[in-house]
Amino acid sequence: MIKSEELTNPNSCMSKARDDEMTFVLLGRDPAAPKAIREWAARRVFLGKNNYTDPQIKEALDCANEMERQRNAEPPQAKEMKDDA
């Protein structure tokens, strides 16, 4: 989800987090993020918390795909600068 949507959507993960709950954010420019998202989704399914058809899992996998698409569409110089994330 785009940052501005995450912060303003009352149904977003960030909005649903409790005030005292730890959260962790993966940035789209992080080359490790898509794999981390896919591993998280697979683990949720393995634990029986979700199915691959659940909206939460579909959104996560779509996000991973979009991160890769955007990264692959960037010129090499931009990728190098972002790798410092």
Tell me if 75 sits within 8 A of 45, measured CB to CB: no
pLDDT tens sequence across 10-69: 988 889 999 999 999 999 999 999 999 999 999 999 999 999 999 999 999 999 999 999
Tell me if the pTM is above 0.85: no
Tell me what pLDDT residue 27 has: 95
Q: Residue 53 class from Cβ within 10 Å (0-12 exposed, 13-18 middle, 19+ buried)?
A: exposed
Confidence of residue 81 (pLDDT cuts 50, 70, 90): low
Q: Which residue has the tokens 């990264």?
A: 71
Which is higher by pLDDT, 4 or 38? Answer: 38
Domain boundaries of the chain, sorted by first residue: 32-85
